[in-house]
Structure 1
């Protein structure tokens, strides 16, 4: 598979990953041959990038932490939850708990898989996929940091609902300082007797900074709960790689990680960031790269513990016409490194 800008997609090409609608149903299935109408519809829905099957490398796959079934369940549940809030109705805490249980099961089974955020977003499903990704990554970090199962469940629910206060609040209202979504999220969640108060503090504190420069209360250091510190890193990373940043453009993972490094110890907790960097793929499968030896290729494999040293498949000429594919494992070639991402 290869990640491709929607403007470069042509009719007849094959979709590499399923795209979900806002209510969790399948919008387009992997394997479908794209038509002019389909491409036009994806553009209208706000899709900017898609994964396409690559005939030259049909074996390149993206290992997923979450199953398609779990993803669909999460998107459907978040859609139902947000719709209930917009209607002024109580949301189903038990259903959310069951959804989180399934997500946690997937994380525990696939905890050695590096995170590659590959789900395609539309304007309608973006908030739900964001909640899912932040929950998944936060749970993986919490697991690495030694949280027990009760703590992991609290962290998972809190991180999945961290932006619940955004529902029904306009961006203009927030910018004017009248109703920061962290306050509203806290007010909504603290009333849920089924939930620990710590869950509501994830929504309350995930925009605080360890140096005291964050919002809404300017907390610092140990005043910020560990759950919120973990969620803050996952939230910021997912926003960066999906275009929710100052430039309004998608950052490739390696660039987003560089920016996280720059925030270490000031905005983000250093110890949390160290653990976060162990779970994410710096160079995800399917992206094209140029190596320091001037060869170009495609990332085809990952190493747990060495996210910046993937396996790269390069194409070499053998004679005038013949070509040969060769894989370079950067973990075994310490003097060769990735010089640039070409996608």
Structure 2
């Protein structure tokens, strides 16, 4: 598979990864042959990047930590929960716990993989993909930092529900005077009375926009006043916002977003959490096109655990007529070769 800009997708190509609707069902399944109408529709609903099948890269997998079934369960669970909150109905806290158990099972079974956030966002599913991504990133960081199963589950549930206070809130209300108007406080109020939840889960929602320099919201907490769960979710939340279009700005590429995060170290975000983050996230996802310092273009085909910035690159050359020469360059071995640019 190759990861390409939708502007470069042509009718007749085959979709490499499924696209989900807002409620977790499959909108377009992997393997379907794309038509002009499908490509135009994907463009219209906000899709910017797609995985497509390519015979030269059939062996390239995205090495997902989560199974398709787990993803569908997470998106469906958070969609139902947020819809219940929006309509003022009671929501099923036990369902969230069961869904998070499934996520933890997948994560613990794939601890050697780097996290690659490559699920396709649309206008309808963006909020739920964001919640799932923040949950996944936070959980992996937490486990790598030594949290036990119960702690990791608390963190994962808080991460999945960190933005629950955004439902039924207008932008004008959030910027009105008074910290209790902020979505973090509203999220805390919705979660603290859930008997099935530890109060720390509510504090994730409350504190995930606090900053280590004390200039965050809603209470201006600093450093050790902020719970470690919230510090972890703050890093995951910030990263996923940077690589998405949730705020309407240009989405950054993963390596650009990592550079932005490191610039926030000990200002907005906790340094130790950031160090853990950089060890477990894929900076150059499999299937992404890149240009090397040798001026050749290639595609990322494999990752190295612990060396996210030094993947294996496959280069295809036309040597003689129709004959193709294929070479793989392992940047962990070829230490004088670097990635100059991501082609997106």
Give the TM-score of the pair, scaled to structure 2.
Answer: 0.96
Q: 1:155 is matched with which residue?
A: 155
Shift of 1:103: 0.5
Per the TM alignment, residue 320 of structure 1 is displaced from its structure 2 partner at its CA by: 5.6
Displacement of 1:322: 2.9
* SS of corresponding position for 1:278: helix
Alignment-derived partner of residue 234 in structure 2: 232
Q: Structure 1: where are the runs of 5+ without partners? A: none
Residue in 2 that maps onto 1:98: 98
**1:218-241: CA deviations, max 9, x gaps?**
110000000000000000111111
| Structure 1 residue 171, shift from structure 2 partner | 2.2
1:183 is matched with 185
1:335 to 2:339 alignment: no
Moved over 4 A (4+): none
Q: Closer, same or farther in 2 for the Cα pair 1:232/1:286, shift >3 Å?
A: same
2:280 aligned partner: 279
Residues 237-248 of structure 1 aligned to structure 2 (within 5 Å): 237-244=239-246, 248=249
Instruction: State the Cα distance separating 1:177 from its structure 2 match.
Output: 4.6
Counterpart-to-counterpart distance in 1, 2:173 and 2:243: 26
The equivalences for 1:168-179 within 5 A come to: 168-177=168-177, 179=181
Partner secondary structure for residue 17 of structure 1 = coil
Matched with 2:264 is 263
Q: Deviations over 1:227-269 (max 9, x none)?
A: 0000000001111111235x71111100000000100111000
2-side partners of 1:278 and 1:28: how far apart? 33
> 2:205 aligned with 1:206, yes or no?
no
Q: Give the aligned partner of residue 319 of structure 2.
A: 318
The structure-2 alpha-carbon separation of the partners of 1:177 and 1:117, relative to structure 1 and needing over 3 Å to count, comes to farther
What corresponds to 1:252 in structure 2?
A: 253
1:319 Cα deviation from its structure 2 partner: 4.3
Matched residue SS, 1:325: strand
In the TM superposition, residue 309 of structure 1 has moved relative to its aligned partner by 0.4
Distance 2:337 2:37 in 1: 44
Task: Give matches, 1:101-112, under 5 Å.
Answer: 101-112=101-112
Pair 1:333–1:163, CA change in 2 (3 A): same
Counterpart Cα distance in 1 of 2:11 and 2:335 = 41
Distance (whole Å) between structure 2 residues aligned to residue 55 and residue 315 of structure 1 = 12
Q: Deviations over 1:297-327 (max 9, x none)?
A: 1110000000000000112343465331100
With normalisation by structure 1, the TM-score equals 0.96
Query: Equivalences for 1:289-308 in 2 at 5 Å?
Result: 289-308=290-309
1: CA distance, partners of 2:327 / 2:73: 40
**Alpha-carbon distance in structure 1 between the residues aligned to 2:111 and 2:120:** 22
In structure 2, C-alpha distance between the alignment counterparts of 1:317 and 1:85, rounded to whole Å:
57
Q: How many residues align?
A: 342
